Structure 1
Amino acid sequence: MVEVFAVASGKGGTGKTTSTVALGMALADRYDVTVVDADTGMANLLFHAGLSDAETTLHDVLADDAAVSEATYERFGMTVVPCGTSLDGFRDADPARLREVVATLAADTDVILLDSPPALDSRTAVLPIVMADRIVVVLQPTIPAISDGLKVQEYATSYGTGVAGILFNKVREDERIDDVAEKTERYFDGPTLAAIPESERAREARRAGRPLLAHASDCDAAAAYRRAASQLEIEHRDVQTVAQRARSAIIPQKA
């Protein structure tokens, strides 16, 4: 049994990759977790997972030059499938092959987290959302970010993808997040999983090439991510059903 989540946002800079890895590490205490860098154009997962020297990446798989198993790495209690950062690798990769990658991975894990591109501006950028069973929407507590997040939700639900919840990130001390969350939940289908405080420790972790929960496991932001993961109820689905959904996911004609 397995469930596929797309961790998504309507804009860049929300801390989506940090959130994907943190949720993955927290969930790995209870489940077999696989994290996939589905942002093939602006890959960041390999830096967060300390895999900048990885010889084989998802780009190679999407170019049909390597098997999925060759691009998987065991890091911090999770299976990690990073993308490369070269322009040549991006150009040669066929994002449509991501469907078969997810279908293959579904056979050997409990939870798949897809670190999705931060936009809805291309056909391939929205593919992870279309393939996922549910999305986690990463927001900052601002009107533009919430508006963009609602577009992500609208797009996901139009393709039958559910909403697992929303995650507020980079929350400053002076922001009344309880009021914002209460108002926001009127418009989102899922609950607020947590509010992650702005954290210098998260920036330190990125510079060190380590996930936040490994770099500073006792900081407030790490604790908030663990609370979010505990709120994320896993709805395990039949492996064959999940694999078939991934394989048959429609690449939209336009976003």
Structure 2
Amino acid sequence: MVTTYTIASGKGGTGKTTLSVNLGTILASYGRETYIMDADMGMANLGILLGLENVPVTLHEVLAGKAPVSEAIYEGPSGVKVVPSGISLQGFQNADPELLRDVMKEIVNQCDFLIIDAPAGISRDGVIPLAIADEVILVVNPELSSMVDALKTKILTELIGGHVMGAILNRATLENTEVSVHKIEEVLGVKVIGLVPEDPNVRRSAAYKTPIVVKYPSSPASIEIKKIAAKIAGVEYKASEVSEKSGEKFLDRLARSIFRSDK
């Protein structure tokens, strides 16, 4: 039975698309048929991260009625299937987001997991991915403005009948942050299901157009993303390399720093 997750954030620049790509890649590596769909049709970046920015058919063409969804599915790392949106504004203008439900009906019969990269913020195009997912996961950065914007997205999700599974705190550091995990859970009313640290290898892997979990599998960010994917897939996470153990120590220090109680 397929489970659909929409990865959402209240503002741009939180790392939402990067998390969507990497979570989907790890889920596929577990042998689960996994699709990633770029529903951020106006500011599409998912295809760029995977080197699919120049493919002939994208979700834009599908939602414009010019091609079937089968022609817009491409294979990515670990066998993950990718449905990218185009990068042209004209393609965006011709796309009808209302047809997204029909596209999903075709895809869900083919996969175990569907990861939807939603548009940031609150917009008409962003409502559908929030409403049609089984679970919505909010991506939050360690700053007050990000938490406030995420709360707006959560409220909107619940108003339209969606459900927020939890939040991922992304780009966390050992330095003092404006908000703690405890505060995020208190304000959003959901659990923080993962804490992904700031990691320079995220940028490096993006330059190679390769997910960090593939290019730098032992990096601290990769380790935490693997843990989150394991929770989603219902499997036990196991550190498979000696180098990952040092990464675990870093994450322990990070957790102590950010899971502190507010004074």
Q: TM-score range by the shorter chain?
A: 0.7 to 0.9
Q: Distance in 2 between matches of 1:175 and 1:57?
A: 42
Is 1:24 matched up with 2:21?
no
Q: Tell me, yes or no, if the aligned pair for 1:163 and 1:189 is still in contact at 8 Å.
A: no
Contact 1:171 1:195 in 2 (8 A): yes
Contact conserved, 1:193 with 1:232, CA < 8 A, in 2?
A: no
Counterpart in 2 of 1:191? 191
| Residue 4 (1) aligns with residue 4 (2) | yes
Alignment of 1:45-64 (within 5 A): 45-64=46-65
Q: Which amino acid aligns with 1:11?
A: K
> Does residue 1:146 correspond to 2:171, yes or no?
no
Structure with larger RCO (C-alpha < 8 A, sep 6+): 1
Name the residue aligned to 1:252. Answer: none
Structure 1 Cα separation of the partners of residues 36 and 168 of structure 2: 18
Of 164-173 and 184-193, more deviation after overlay is shown by 184-193
Structure 2 counterpart SS, 1:152: helix
1:219 to 1:140, Cα distance in 2 relative to 1, 3 A: same
Q: Which runs of 5+ in 1 are unaligned?
A: 235-255
2:229 and 2:16 mapped to 1: Cα distance?
Answer: 14
TM-score, with normalisation over the residues of structure 1? 0.87
Q: Tell me, in whole angstroms, the C-alpha distance in 1 between the residues paired with 2:105 and 2:187.
A: 32
Cα RMSD between the aligned structures? 1.6
Distance (whole Å) between structure 2 residues aligned to residue 195 and residue 40 of structure 1: 27
Unpaired segments ≥5 residues, structure 2: 235-263
Shift of 1:162: 1.3
Identity of aligned residues (%): 35
Counterpart in 2 of 1:97? 99
Aligned residue number for residue 242 of structure 2? none
Where 1:112 maps in the other structure, the secondary structure is strand
* Residue 175 of structure 1: aligned partner: 176
Shift of 1:195: 1.1
Q: Alpha-carbon deviation of 1:228?
A: 1.4
| Correspondence 1:68-217 to 2 at 5 A | 68-76=69-77, 77-120=79-122, 122-175=123-176, 180-217=180-217
Kindly state the Cα deviation for residue 189 of structure 1 after the two structures are TM-superposed.
4.1
Q: SS where residue 125 of structure 2 aligns?
A: coil
Are the equivalent residues in 2 in contact too, given 1:165–1:232 (CA < 8 A)? no
Secondary structure of 1:89's counterpart equals helix
Distance in 2, matches of 1:186 and 1:233, equals 26
Partner SS for 2:35:
strand
* Residues 136 and 164 in structure 2, CA contact (< 8 A), matched pair in contact too: yes
Q: What is the TM-score with the length of structure 2 in the denominator?
A: 0.84
Counterpart residue identity of residue 209, structure 2: G
Deviates more, 1:168-177 or 1:49-58: 168-177
Number of aligned pairs?
Answer: 232
Contact 2:16 2:117 (8 Å CA) reproduced:
yes
Partner in structure 1 of residue 259 of structure 2:
none
- Could you say which residue in structure 2 is the equivalent of 1:227? 227
Q: Which has the larger radius of gyration?
A: 2
Higher helix share: 2
